[in-house]
Amino acid sequence: MTKNNSVLKWLEEMKDLVVPDQVVWIDGSEEQLRRLREESCATGEMIALNQEKLPGCYLHRTKENDVARVEARTFICSRREEDAGPTNNWREPQETYRMLYDIARGSYRGRTMYVIPYSMGPVGSPFSKIGYELTDSIYVVLNMAIMTRVGTAVEEALGDSEDWVRGLHCSCEVDAEKRYICHFPEDNTIISVNSAYGGNVLLGKKCFALRIASYLGRNEGWMAEHMLILGIENPQGEVKYVTAAFPSACGKTNLAMLIPPEGYRAKGYKVWTVGDDIAWMRPGPDGRLWAVNPENGFFGVAPGTNQKSNPNALATTQKGTIFTNVVHNLDDNTVWWEGLDKNPPENAIDWKGNPWNGKTSTEKGAHPNSRFTAPAKNCPCISKEFDSGKGVPISAIIFGGRRAQTTPLVYQSRSWEHGVFVGSIMASETTAAATGAVGVVRRDPMAMLPFCGYHMGDYFGHWIDMGRKLGDKAPKIFNVNWFRVDEEGKFIWPGFGDNLRVLEWILARCDGEVDAEETPIGYVPHSKDINLEGLDFTQEQLEDILAIDKEKWMQEAKGIEEFYGKFGGKLPKELREQLHTLEENLK
């Protein structure tokens, strides 16, 4: 327990508000976590899985109304509405505090308040930031203990500083009608009520490490992004790092843990995971852009994860993991999800808690957004730099999304400013990671639409400024699309491990080793320059997914024009000029 006055004072206020029966301070010790796991199993909140097959693994089911982030109920409560911008929901802070306090008041009666001191980033790193989360859910405590660094060491690092983020989570009745995920960027405060699911309640993750941190980053000259970080080691043993921003459930975890195709492995290529969801980046002493993964674990999508698509993720989940909303196999007390294997259990319980037979049932057994929470240190390909507080230097930034058409497999921007344009026009088909319709194309700039804690026009401006600061040391910016489909709706590009072929071209471009074709949208590879060795894929098929359809891009330009209209005078003039250049190039 801390002696920090600003923490103690806030804690007293919150205790008076929510009125817990008792307060438990999370010290991060294995002993304390063990007791909490036992308690949660005794109450039925968690189910201990087969400890021989899955040591330290547990299953949890959320309420049916509480299975994903709720963007419509997520708010940025800046003092001025215009500071939240046109892409965020805004609420007036004073009135919102009052409303939330009314919901929170007395809601811990009969419950325990857990006080979680946590660090985003390795404890003591210059990149790192500290937060406190108060919660009445053991599930949240156990997840936070995997996803972040928690406990006494964090409090020692904070000392008596007032620079930390306040987080209050109240499960209340998990009433969807009274669910609010609210951010007060000017007060370093997050309040989340009436949910108990993932991104809504693990406050270190999207709420702090993206929404609050993006706001802090703009004020302090750094960047908080929805990006994976990965290292690619060539046969000479040199490792180059890239980051990639894809919208939720669009393949960040897959790319971050990629296994090189056979031919590449034989040559000695290796891939190292630094992060799979969030990157904090700032200029390093050498003037390059350096990145740290602020998280300590992976909150990954379960369905579709299997021995072929992502063996590293699967291996990561074999111990010390919490599974949420997957199938419970009663025969051997393990878990299952759609796309794990072709052998669904017959004697099982589905994510809703009902008996389920995988051979006869027509309904899905696992929720499409069911997830695993697994310690990063379990990952067979975790980078040796993962825990290093100094971060890794970034050679390339990659944007991408799910586009059935229009966007080619890969292209490079002509400059940093053009790269910011490429990020700003990202669009992707929606997924189950948030509630609402799935498969609808929407603009999702830099994959940050749901996560930018301030006006997106100012955010674009911040990107432009960062490029100016980095000058010729700035990473090169690319865009990829693994998701082009043929007439039958089937993915054309094999993807997954074979995406390394595209990464190889990207790194060759960074080193100026290969030339490219200049097109209206940027530099596209000559098809001969993407290595197809050992792949059942023809040069013609490749040319097909590298092709730029001018008609479609003219349509796209219209869509961008319309989207940009939202930002009014806050749209940086550099982006307006880039759009103009695109339109001219297409003529």
Residue (of 370, 296, 294) closest to 146 by Cα position = 296
Write the single-letter amino acid at 430: T
Amino acid at 195: S
Among 40, 248, 293, 578, binds ligand GTP (CB under 6 A): 248
Q: Which of 71, 139, 179, 120 is nearest to 433 (CA)?
A: 71
Catalytic residue among 57, 170, 207, 250: 250
> Binding string to ligand SPV for residues 187 to 226, with x set by CB under 6 A, is what?
-----------xx-----xx--------------------
Task: Name the binder of 198 from ligand SPV, ligand GTP, Mn ion, none, CB < 5-8 A by kind.
Answer: ligand SPV
> Of the two residues 339 and 358, which places its CB atom closer to ligand GTP in the complex?
339
3-state helix, strand, coil in the chain (%, to 5): 35, 25, 40
Position 312 contacts ligand GTP (CB under 6 A): no
The distance of closest approach from Cβ of residue 227 to ligand SPV in the complex, given in angstroms and rounded to an integer, is 11
Shorter beta-carbon distance to Mn ion: residue 73 or 206:
206
Tell me the two tokens of residue 576: 């307006």
- Site of interaction with Mn ion (CB under 5 A): 248, 277
Is 249 a binding residue for ligand GTP by CB under 6 A? The answer is yes
Asked if 484 touches ligand SPV (CB under 6 A), the answer is: no
Within 13 Å and on the Cβ side, how many CA atoms surround 93? 16
What is the C-alpha to C-alpha distance for residues 557 and 580, in angstroms, rounded to an integer? 9
Interaction pattern, residues 13-52, with ligand SPV; x per rule: CB under 6 A: ----------------------------------------
Q: In the annotation, is 41 catalytic?
A: no
User: In the Cβ-directed half-sphere of 516, how many Cα atoms lie within 13 Å?
Assistant: 25
Helix (H) or strand (E) holding 13: helix 5-18
277 touching ligand SPV, by CB under 6 A: yes
Q: Does 69 bind ligand SPV (CB under 6 A)?
A: yes
Can you tell me which of 299, 323, 421, 478 binds ligand SPV, judged by CB under 6 A? 299
Write down the least CB distance from residue 101 to ligand SPV, Å.
25
Written as six digits, the tokens of 184 are 């007060």
Q: Which is nearer to ligand GTP, 253 or 317 (CB)?
A: 253
Q: Which long-range contacts (CB under 8 A, 24 or more apart) does 348-357 make?
A: 351/61, 351/325, 351/326, 351/327, 352/61, 352/64, 353/61, 356/327
Asked if residue 433 binds ligand SPV (CB under 6 A), the reply is yes
- Among 369, 386, 363, 227, smallest CA distance to 305 is for 369
Binding status of residue 304 toward ligand GTP by CB under 6 A? yes
Which does residue 67 bind out of ligand GTP, Mn ion, ligand SPV, none, counting CB within 5 to 8 angstroms by kind? none
Task: Decide if residue 572 touches ligand SPV (CB under 6 A).
Answer: no
Q: Looking at beta carbons, which residue is closest to ligand SPV?
A: 199
Instruction: Measure Cα distances from 487 to 18, 120, 490, 537, 539 in Å.
Output: 57, 45, 7, 17, 19
Q: How far apart are CA 329 and CA 347, in angstroms?
A: 6
Q: What track of x and - describes contact with ligand GTP for positions 463 through 502 (by CB under 6 A)?
A: -------------------xx-------x---xx--x---
Region from 95-103, 144-152, 245-253, 435-443 binding ligand GTP, contact rule CB under 6 A: 245-253
Determine if 246 is a binding residue for ligand GTP (CB under 6 A).
yes
Q: Pairing between strand 47-48 and 58-60?
A: antiparallel
Q: How far is the CB of 451 from Mn ion (least distance, A)?
A: 8
Q: Return the HEC string of 427-442.
A: EEECCCCECCCCCCEE
| Alpha-carbon span 408 to 396, nearest angstrom | 18
537 lies in the site for ligand GTP, by CB under 6 A: no
Contacts of 488 (CB under 8 A, 6+ apart): none
Is residue 433 involved in binding ligand GTP (CB under 6 A)?
Answer: yes
Binding region for ligand GTP (CB under 6 A): 246, 248-254, 276-277, 300-301, 304, 433, 482-483, 491, 495-496, 499
Binding region for ligand SPV (CB under 6 A): 69, 198-199, 205-206, 248, 277, 299, 433
Enumerate the active-site residues: 250
